[in-house]
């Protein structure tokens, strides 16, 4: 679907390459916003140190979204209707990329409001989860750039596992007793982490799903990610028959050698 976007189609050009580059930069900026804000919440960074950088990053993401939308409209109005579905897909996933910056700001607000940094097992679990999500964001950029369906499928499976883990943690916190003063902050952190992973999954789904199934990945499993291409049948090669030497020819050859 994205051959035109990656410049592989007949209509690929400078404008399309610019859109592809800008979208990749949005994903990178979203990962930066997430990492920076999550580290602040987890107690590794002073919120005042990152405040200006975080909000500038979010504004940069928002400007890129508007530019790409405008370029999509121009492209769709100039080129053939065959590219219209891909334009709709890109219009959708640009919003997913923009939401990454918003959740970075949400995590930043949580870092300011929380009574103290996370501690104990919750902090350890959140650090591990943050690293997994950050890695998946980097993998998403690579899979999208390369239009790598296998990598995108693995990423979707990983994202669903992360989302299930976040739900499990939230249930444990809501039903747990006695209540912890940090419980509301933990619940919000897990919810924000889940939403970031969901938006990453949506972007990855654009590589493997058609337009009408975009964002719907419940039927994609680890078996799909591990599935290998069926082995190709080898075409048997015909053997070239060798010419048999007659007895008469063999006798003449022997006689020549004796002379």
CA distance 109 to 117: 13
Contact 29, 60 (CB under 8 A): yes
Mean pLDDT of 101-112: 96
Contact 38, 108 (CB under 8 A): no
Please report whether residue 55 resides in a domain. Answer: yes
Phi, psi dihedral angles at 4 (to 5 degrees): -65, -35
Tens of pLDDT, residue by residue over 2-39, are 554 554 554 445 556 788 889 999 999 999 999 999 99
pLDDT greater than 90 at residue 150:
yes
Please report whether residue 1 resides in a domain. Answer: no
Please report whether residue 231 resides in a domain. Answer: no
pLDDT of 128 reads: 97
pLDDT of 232 reads: 47
- Residue among 171, 156, 152, 162 nearest 218 (CA): 156
Omega into 37 within 30° of 0, i.e. cis?
no
What is the domain-level CATH number for residue 107? Answer: 1.20.58.220
What is the number of structural domains in the chain? 1
Contact 101, 196 (CB under 8 A): no
pTM metric for this prediction: 0.80
pLDDT greater than 90 at residue 45:
no
- Residue among 124, 95, 111, 113 nearest 195 (CA): 95
Please report whether residue 248 resides in a domain. Answer: no
pLDDT greater than 80 at residue 122:
yes
CA distance 97 to 100: 5
Please report whether residue 64 resides in a domain. Answer: yes
CA atoms within 13 A on the CB side of 142: 11
Please report whether residue 240 resides in a domain. Answer: no
Helix (H, G, I), strand (E, B) or coil at 243: coil
Comparison of pLDDT for 169 and 218, the residue scoring more: 169
Please report whether residue 31 resides in a domain. Answer: yes
Range of the domain at 148: 14-224
Least confident of 24-28, 93-97, 186-190, 247-251: 247-251
Please report whether residue 151 resides in a domain. Answer: yes
pLDDT of 80 reads: 67
């Amino acid at each position: 679907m994205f051959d035109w976007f990656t410049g592989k189609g007949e209509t690929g050009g400078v404008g399309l390459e610019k859109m592809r580059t800008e979208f990749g930069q949005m994903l990178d900026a979203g990962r930066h916003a997430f990492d920076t804000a999550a580290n602040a919440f987890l107690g590794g960074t002073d919120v005042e140190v990152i405040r200006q950088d975080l909000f500038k990053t979010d504004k940069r993401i928002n400007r890129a979204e508007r530019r790409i939308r405008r370029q999509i409209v121009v492209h769709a109005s100039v080129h053939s209707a065959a590219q219209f579905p891909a334009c709709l897909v890109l219009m959708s996933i640009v919003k997913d990329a923009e939401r990454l910056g918003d959740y970075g700001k949400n995590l930043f607000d949580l870092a300011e409001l929380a009574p103290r940094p996370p501690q104990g097992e919750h902090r350890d679990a959140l650090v591990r989860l943050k690293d997994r999500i950050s890695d998946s964001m980097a993998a998403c950029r690579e899979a999208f750039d390369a239009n790598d369906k296998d990598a995108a499928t693995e990423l979707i499976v990983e994202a669903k596992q992360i989302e299930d883990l976040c739900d499990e943690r939230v249930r444990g916190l809501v039903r747990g007793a006695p209540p912890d003063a940090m419980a509301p902050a933990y619940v919000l952190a897990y919810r924000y982490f889940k939403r970031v992973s969901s938006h990453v999954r949506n972007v990855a789904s654009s590589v493997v799903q058609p337009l009408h199934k975009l964002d719907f990945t419940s039927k994609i499993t680890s078996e799909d990610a591990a599935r290998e291409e069926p082995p190709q049948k080898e075409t048997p090669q015909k053997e070239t028959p060798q010419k048999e030497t007659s007895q008469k020819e063999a006798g003449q050859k022997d006689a020549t050698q004796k002379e």
